[in-house]
Structure 1
Amino acid sequence: MASVNSAEWRSICDKFTNAQSLTDVESRNDPENEPFRSKYKARELLREIYCSLKNFEAGDGEEDTGGGEGGEQRAPEPPLAGQKDDVFGHGLDGDSPAGLRAAKLGAVDYYLGVNHIDTEELSAGQEHLMSCLKLLERCRVSPENVSLVIHVRNQLGILWAGRDETEMAQGFLETAESIYQRYMKEDGTPPTDMTEYFSSAENLLTHQERTKRFEMAYTHTMYYLAQVYKNLGETEHAANYCHSTLQRQLKLNQFTPMEWALNAATLSQYYITKGRYMEGRHCLAAATVISGLAGEVPSEAAAQENEAESERREQLRQKRAEIARCWIKYCLNILQDAKKLLEDNIGELDTDRQDDLKRERRQEEEEEEKGRKSALLFGSEDTFDSIASVEEKVLCLSPLDFTEARAVFLVGQNYVTQAKEYFEMDGYVTDHIEILQDHSVLFRSLAFFEEDPERRCKMHKRRIDMLEPICNDLNSQYYLMIRRQLMFELAEIYNEMMDLKLTVANRQADSQSLDNHTIKKFNHLCSASAKYFQMFLDSLRSPEGKFPEHLEEEVLRPTLVAQFRVARLHSRLIDPSPSVQLENLNRSLESYKYVVQYCEGHPEAAAAVETELELSSEMVGLLPLKINRLKARMAANN
């Protein structure tokens, strides 16, 4: 190998520096009609470097290793998942002359491989990367080459993942992970960065910069493994690697605030679905704090004057609104899970269970504190306090009474307001309505904890006020599925309000002596509920008005439930006129019969509506008797 002070070696170093500049800097300004111009120039320089290194090696008496831009060789077989090639106990030392020569050749192969991949020549890129692995087989992993060892396996992992060969990618990345862990355990000194193979002594990196670059390489390994495990359906593994990646990015100060915050908020949704609210809250609190590092949203006036400010304003507003939506889901889910925990067999608050859980709360809080200390925390000492202050605003334990539930509700409602500021109805119809639906469910969840029926009714009325105008104004041609969701939800809200009004009335007087005002209110709620259920059913009809003979899976249960509810609602309407009573009972019987007959003709549907089918079958037998008695009374009166 030529002396590091020779003109030949200085020429190699200059070429490498130029190749790096072409790749990282000048390529950004390449014209659209020549998008890879600078990278092609970099490739030629890398090829020249490779040939020079081979000539030095041949001049020193080394046998030809093949590969790269030279002769033929058989690249090593790529590892499969679970197969970690051992690169520690064989070959030459990484810092021996031969080992260092192999590492330098391997580094050029690596850069050529990345260059070909960047220019969409994947097969050629793969050949160079596998050639690099072959060269590295001659070396033990050491401080001089461990960074290259991990980088090349990372790149191969990305390459195979892009081809949907997930298990192949997993093998390369898991090997990279094991190499890092073993190196840190057995050595741990700041390793040489690949760029230093072609740097003069005065341009070598500091130990601190070497460490930072090496740790970032491993952070990339963890990030890619998170994607691989996600694609394999191993969600817990994926979440753990994602969490660690985010933590390391903060520690190394290598992150873009809004991107990091959005990733943390997204991760929170996994924890929420698993009922791990402490971790979910921590992710969201960190997302809120870190997103603040992106700065203030530019004013509308500034955005109008400057295109860059306009784009920045749009991105900041959108991503902060998306984080707000993740907070809404947190509050919504913790309230819903608390409801499931506290409800009895008819869906009401079980006060005995509530008292038991309150007594257990002290022990639960102590366990939470222990878990808190062992959890993976984000940030540095500068951000810990800020994150903790955001966390303190909302529970991560199940709310057990109205006061605790209301505190969670108010946090969720605040984020609803924030999210709607960006996702306006004009331009974001679907997103806006989804936010309104979440707001509605927040009210429904809070109402469960409210013991006063009148106040519960008012909460449900708020839900109607926010959803009914939207439902009636939406164009069915473009938003049919959303309208169906809203129709069904409105029908259920009116039904619940009807039951609550009847409960209040029965507390005040005998059910047989309801006053006219109460009867009128009850009938209004009952009719409104039936109207929206019927609107839902009518939305299933063909343009010719024909009801489908076969119900698709996504509408099977809603349709049969709607028919069952329509039947019950018509039978509950209060009217002094026998003829109106008869009409309502006949309509009720017709809907009950539909449920029974459909399940008889489609036996597979019975499992979707077991309770409703049982009650419908019973009413199909009883209602004709009631109808006949009413007819007999009407005949006798005539």
Structure 2
Amino acid sequence: MAADLSFSLWRTSVCLPKFDEAVHLSDVESHNDPEEEPFRSHYKARDIWKQIEQELKEREPAMEESEQRCAVAIHSAINYMLGCNYIEAEETSVGEEKLVLSLQSIESEKMTPRYCCLAVKVLNMLGVLWSGRENYEKALQFAKGSEQLYSDYLASTEVAPFVIRDLFIDDEHLTPEEERQMAFESEHTHTLFYLAQIYDKLQKRSESAEYCYATLRRQLETRQFDSIEWALNCATLSQYYITVGDYMSTRHCLAAASKMVSQNDGCDQQDQSEKLLKCRADISRCWVKYCLNLLQESKSAIQSAENDTEITSSSETPMEASHEVAQFDLDVSAFEGDTPVSHVLTFEDARHVFILGQKHLDLARQFYVLDGYVTDYVSITQDYSQLFKNLAFFEHDIDRQCRMHKRRADMLLETAKQLNPQFYLVICRQLTFETAEIYNSLVELKYSSAEQREGPPTPHMIKKINQLVQQSIDQFQAFVDSFRDHKKEMPKTFEADSLHPVLVSKFYVARLYTKFIVSDKSQRVQNMKKALDLYQGLLDYSDAHPDMPPVFNEELSVCKEMVQLMPLKMTKIMQGP
């Protein structure tokens, strides 16, 4: 029957309905395919594409010139649809062939309204294809080609290009101009999104951020976006701005992300609710990183400019960006609030940042609980510890500093107690090492406090210092012991990623043994002997591994000095009164 119809009638009454059916199968029905037949709808759609292709070939010998032109358009569209179909069904080689055929058939006319949008789509899909193959340079060529084609077309005409469905119908029944332009702009937004991803894979963070920002702005302008995904992408972009010290853009992105998710409170579906809660938690974690990095950079700035009398207050000197400051068409003032965008210099300013970070930590932990999200929960706890650590820098009272560090140690120990090292060995090591460092810091603070008071340290102070010394030794030793094998033997050679922390732990333990405050001479010498043995052991390891990376050179110099001096010191102590 179809063969008896005129080409024009066949195209609109037979071909177009089949096209619509295949598109529905690919875009809608495929989401309901069973797990045992994940590509069932795609295969059905493929059969329809091929059927249209076959009928078209049978008609070609009797076609007039104008009909042949329409046939080329349908062929190019079918090849594109088949290319996407094969790629989605994980048959990428055949998919690539179809896409290339589609592009070749319209190469000379890709700047015309009939074919420009199709050409942009083909180039985008080829970029996606090569990204999937991890050939990002080639993917970049296709994506940049799509971007250039879009720009060249807009510069040459104001006519909205055809959408693919228009290639199956008469010109007088085309999709309305406004809808066609919207579809073309949407496809270009996809191009920008792909470019952001490709540049990220190529480790070109600045270019990736630039295209991500452009994508987010276009999505807002066209109102074509999923609000939760938009918020997550915006929060992710904020993390790039942190790395370049642009806290103005970082804060704005996070405020925009927070505003966007605040508009999703009416989500009722269970899966959407879970998605929304996770999104909020992830944005809160990004806010925590903002607060943490701002405190860390403020601390570093103060340390590097201790003698600079021209350090200005945070309210006067926002950090300058070397690029366009992010600005979305959203009113986010309520979410930006009075959050600083510059270095903080006082404890009160630092505390303000700390409280904001603490608030978002609590929000993040409402979703990322220990039962089910171990890695995330621990990471959030470690961020909490670091917030206290950086806040303590701005506190001048030593006792209050000590209380902050004590909070850190308690939260890390409590978390470690709930983990089984058999399953979470790396995480347990991280917690143990950081706890050891905290106790070591507390030892230094208590020594400083003792030195500031008049007269010798009290028995209570001595007891506390010795207790902290032992706690730090225990934690460092527990970290080192975690590398023992099932026979309780230590490896003769440590892996590169664990070499430095293991050697540093032993180095700290050696120093800590000399920090015990004891009146008994033999006990002091015994502690020094333990330290000496550890220093010598570190030197022996270095001698046995001459090709060891230079990650421990400064400490090795101290070890050599200690090995020479400590025997003399021990002799002097024993000979003294």
Give TM-score scaled by structure 1 length.
Answer: 0.83
- After superposition, what is the alpha-carbon deviation per residue over 1:573-618, rounded to whole angstroms, capped at 9, x for unaligned? 1111122112111112112222222222223447212222222211
233, 251, 254: which one pairs with 1:281? 251
Q: How far has the Cα of 1:442 moved from its partner? A: 0.6
Q: Judge conservation of contact 1:246–1:264 (CA < 8 Å) in 2.
A: yes
The residue number in structure 2 matching 1:339 is 299
Aligned-partner Cα distance in 1 for 2:313–2:366: 41
SS of residue paired to 2:194: helix
Q: How far has the Cα of 1:519 moved from its partner? A: 1.7
The residue number in structure 2 matching 1:110 is 80
369, 380, 383: which one pairs with 1:424? 369
369, 375, 384: which one pairs with 2:325? 375
Q: Does 1:577 align with 2:527?
A: no
The residue number in structure 2 matching 1:356 is 310
- After superposition, what is the alpha-carbon deviation per residue over 1:98-150, rounded to whole angstroms, capped at 9, x for unaligned? 76653333122222322333334333322322221121024251222211110
Q: Point out the more displaced range, 144-153 or 312-321.
A: 312-321
Q: Does 1:461 align with 2:431?
A: no
Aligned-partner Cα distance in 2 for 1:140–1:426: 55
Aligned-partner Cα distance in 2 for 1:371–1:318: 33
Q: Judge conservation of contact 1:110–1:152 (CA < 8 Å) in 2.
A: yes
Q: Does 1:397 align with 2:324?
A: no
The AA in structure 2 aligned to 1:484 is R
Q: Point out the more displaced range, 602-611 or 425-434.
A: 602-611
Q: How does 1:550-569 map to 2 (within 5 A)?
A: 550-569=493-512
**Structure 1 residues 138 and 502: CA distance shift in structure 2, 3 A:** closer
Q: Judge conservation of contact 1:606–1:613 (CA < 8 Å) in 2.
A: no
Q: Judge conservation of contact 1:116–1:125 (CA < 8 Å) in 2.
A: yes
- After superposition, what is the alpha-carbon deviation per residue over 1:264-293, rounded to whole angstroms, capped at 9, x for unaligned? 222222222232322222222222111223
Q: Does 1:317 align with 2:277?
A: yes
Aligned-partner Cα distance in 1 for 2:77–2:199: 28
- After superposition, what is the alpha-carbon deviation per residue over 1:398-428, rounded to whole angstroms, capped at 9, x for unaligned? 2222222211111111111111112212222
**Structure 1 residues 116 and 297: CA distance shift in structure 2, 3 A:** closer
The AA in structure 1 aligned to 2:325 is A
Q: Point out the more displaced range, 52-61 or 212-221.
A: 52-61
Q: How far has the Cα of 1:437 moved from its partner? A: 0.9
The AA in structure 2 aligned to 1:553 is A
Aligned-partner Cα distance in 2 for 1:251–1:157: 25
Aligned-partner Cα distance in 1 for 2:479–2:27: 58
The residue number in structure 2 matching 1:137 is 107
The residue number in structure 1 matching 2:480 is 537
**Structure 1 residues 622 and 297: CA distance shift in structure 2, 3 A:** farther
Q: Does 1:264 align with 2:197?
A: no
Aligned-partner Cα distance in 2 for 1:97–1:222: 36
- After superposition, what is the alpha-carbon deviation per residue over 1:324-348, rounded to whole angstroms, capped at 9, x for unaligned? 222212211221122121115xxxx
**Structure 1 residues 424 and 15: CA distance shift in structure 2, 3 A:** closer
Q: How far has the Cα of 1:238 moved from its partner? A: 1.9
The residue number in structure 2 matching 1:486 is 431
SS of residue paired to 2:74: helix
The AA in structure 2 aligned to 1:447 is A
Q: Does 1:523 align with 2:466?
A: yes
Aligned-partner Cα distance in 2 for 1:296–1:61: 57
Aligned-partner Cα distance in 1 for 2:379–2:102: 51
Aligned-partner Cα distance in 2 for 1:476–1:417: 26
Aligned-partner Cα distance in 1 for 2:565–2:538: 15
Q: Judge conservation of contact 1:100–1:144 (CA < 8 Å) in 2.
A: no
Q: How far has the Cα of 1:179 moved from its partner? A: 0.3
The residue number in structure 1 matching 2:193 is 223
253, 260, 265: which one pairs with 1:290? 260
The residue number in structure 1 matching 2:457 is 514
Q: Judge conservation of contact 1:102–1:138 (CA < 8 Å) in 2.
A: no
Aligned-partner Cα distance in 2 for 1:172–1:199: 29
The residue number in structure 2 matching 1:80 is none
Aligned-partner Cα distance in 1 for 2:209–2:254: 14
- After superposition, what is the alpha-carbon deviation per residue over 1:148-207, rounded to whole angstroms, capped at 9, x for unaligned? 110111122222222333333222221111100111122243222121222467863332
Q: Does 1:181 align with 2:126?
A: no
Q: Judge conservation of contact 2:124–2:191 (CA < 8 Å) in 1.
A: yes
Q: How far has the Cα of 1:515 moved from its partner? A: 1.9
Q: Point out the more displaced range, 35-44 or 214-223.
A: 35-44
Q: Judge conservation of contact 2:86–2:94 (CA < 8 Å) in 1.
A: yes
**Structure 1 residues 312 and 631: CA distance shift in structure 2, 3 A:** same
The AA in structure 2 aligned to 1:375 is V
Q: Judge conservation of contact 1:99–1:139 (CA < 8 Å) in 2.
A: no
Q: How far has the Cα of 1:6 moved from its partner? A: 4.1
Aligned-partner Cα distance in 2 for 1:558–1:294: 45
Q: Point out the more displaced range, 52-61 or 619-628.
A: 52-61
**Structure 1 residues 41 and 408: CA distance shift in structure 2, 3 A:** same
Q: How does 1:181-260 map to 2 (within 5 A)?
A: 181-199=151-169, 204-260=174-230
**Structure 1 residues 541 and 55: CA distance shift in structure 2, 3 A:** closer
The residue number in structure 2 matching 1:495 is 440
Q: Does 1:42 align with 2:45?
A: yes
The AA in structure 2 aligned to 1:241 is Y
Aligned-partner Cα distance in 1 for 2:135–2:429: 40
Aligned-partner Cα distance in 2 for 1:185–1:459: 61
Q: Does 1:154 align with 2:124?
A: yes
Aligned-partner Cα distance in 2 for 1:46–1:100: 16
572, 577, 596: which one pairs with 2:539? 596
SS of residue paired to 1:459: helix
State the superposition RMSD in angstroms. 2.8
Q: How far has the Cα of 1:388 moved from its partner? A: 3.2
Aligned-partner Cα distance in 2 for 1:590–1:334: 42
**Structure 1 residues 492 and 11: CA distance shift in structure 2, 3 A:** closer
The residue number in structure 1 matching 2:24 is 21
Q: Point out the more displaced range, 578-587 or 540-549.
A: 540-549
- After superposition, what is the alpha-carbon deviation per residue over 1:548-581, rounded to whole angstroms, capped at 9, x for unaligned? 3222222222122222221222112111112211
The residue number in structure 1 matching 2:134 is 164
Q: How far has the Cα of 1:4 moved from its partner? A: 8.6
Aligned-partner Cα distance in 2 for 1:296–1:578: 73
Q: How far has the Cα of 1:16 moved from its partner? A: 2.7
Q: Judge conservation of contact 1:297–1:313 (CA < 8 Å) in 2.
A: yes
The residue number in structure 2 matching 1:10 is 13
Aligned-partner Cα distance in 2 for 1:167–1:554: 30
Q: Point out the more displaced range, 282-291 or 39-48.
A: 39-48
Aligned-partner Cα distance in 1 for 2:508–2:36: 64
Give TM-score scaled by structure 2 length.
Answer: 0.91
**Structure 1 residues 567 and 18: CA distance shift in structure 2, 3 A:** closer
Seq. identity, %: 40
Q: Judge conservation of contact 2:238–2:251 (CA < 8 Å) in 1.
A: yes
**Structure 1 residues 115 and 558: CA distance shift in structure 2, 3 A:** closer
Aligned-partner Cα distance in 1 for 2:12–2:423: 68
Q: How far has the Cα of 1:5 moved from its partner? A: 6.6
The AA in structure 1 aligned to 2:444 is D
Q: How far has the Cα of 1:13 moved from its partner? A: 2.9
Aligned-partner Cα distance in 1 for 2:450–2:242: 40
Aligned-partner Cα distance in 1 for 2:53–2:487: 74
Provide structure 1 residue ranges, at least 5 long, that are not aligned to the other structure. 63-95, 299-307, 345-349
The AA in structure 2 aligned to 1:520 is K
